[in-house]
Amino acid sequence: MNQSNDKPDVRRLQRIATKLRGNIVKMIEIAGSGHNGGAMSAIDMIVYLYFHQMRVRPDEPRWPDRDRFVMSKGHCCPALYVALAERGFFAEEVLWTLRDIESALQGHPDMKKTPGVDMTTGSLGQGVSSAVGIALGGKLDDKEYNTFVMCSDGEMQEGQVWEAAMAAAHHKLERMIVLVDNNKLQTDGPTASINNVEPIAPKWEAFGWNAHAIDGHDFAQIHEAVQRCLVPNGKPSVIVAETVKGKGISFMENQVDFHSGPTKPEQTEQALRELDERMRSLEQEEVRS
């Protein structure tokens, strides 16, 4: 599971992502609040990073040479939490304490409370700026770690994102990679109707970045794009991932109502049933192959 140029085991990653989608639904229902939709659109990219690409040591969360990940769209931290638990940073049982006042898992990531969280985030845009500082620190210290940061399409309405983009290009932070979770919905509706951020890739290119557009739910495409980004050329890189809000659960997909808030008990049952069916289908495909 260390950084690898080898092709990923796609079926394995799909099985992990399916399991983690179920954990997201359960933890948010237990908490009574949280963000299902954006966590579901982000989870495939996070699974790829933590279970194929990134160099991390769950038993040594602050290992100096680890790759860094910043969840700039911090409200979707359930996607990060379930990956960290599955990867072994903390026990799965901790997931069911989401948003409890004494919990290590708050409604936004907290680097001082949660093993494996590299940066505290919440106010949109700030995570991208923090990642610039992390990547610049690595460059100045002559470190070889990579800094991955996930932001949302709505988040790019924040001017701070573009200040950070300009700084990263100026400092030639070629080990910084932004993944844009372009699910096209935000709290109040379609991003395009609120404050349109398209076209996304040309904007980043104009700021001096390498830009790649992919299907954010296709592990082969995610892998290919990340590998291209890791080829040094003096520029930071962005992966604009076309995603589906609520991906993987039929009644959530492309529904702004599931931006935030828990599922009702009957919805939880339906979601888990759909995911169980998906898991069985993946296991059958594995047997047939």
Domain spans, the chain: 10-288
What is the CA 163 to chain-centroid distance, rounded? 21
**Over residues 169-193, mean pLDDT:** 98
Question: pLDDT tens digits for 67-125?
Answer: 999 999 999 999 999 999 999 999 999 999 999 999 999 999 999 999 999 999 999 99
Q: 87-93: which pairs have CB atoms within 8 A and are 24 or more residues apart?
A: 87/1, 87/50, 87/51, 87/56, 87/58, 87/116, 88/58, 88/59, 89/58, 89/61, 89/115, 89/116, 90/114, 90/115, 90/116, 92/23
Question: pLDDT tens digits for 102-118?
Answer: 999 999 999 999 999 99
In this prediction, residue 130 carries a pLDDT of 98
In this prediction, residue 4 carries a pLDDT of 56
Tokens representing 10 are: 């796609």
Architecture (CATH level 2) of domain 10-288:
3-Layer(aba) Sandwich (3.40)
Question: pLDDT tens digits for 54-64?
Answer: 999 999 999 99
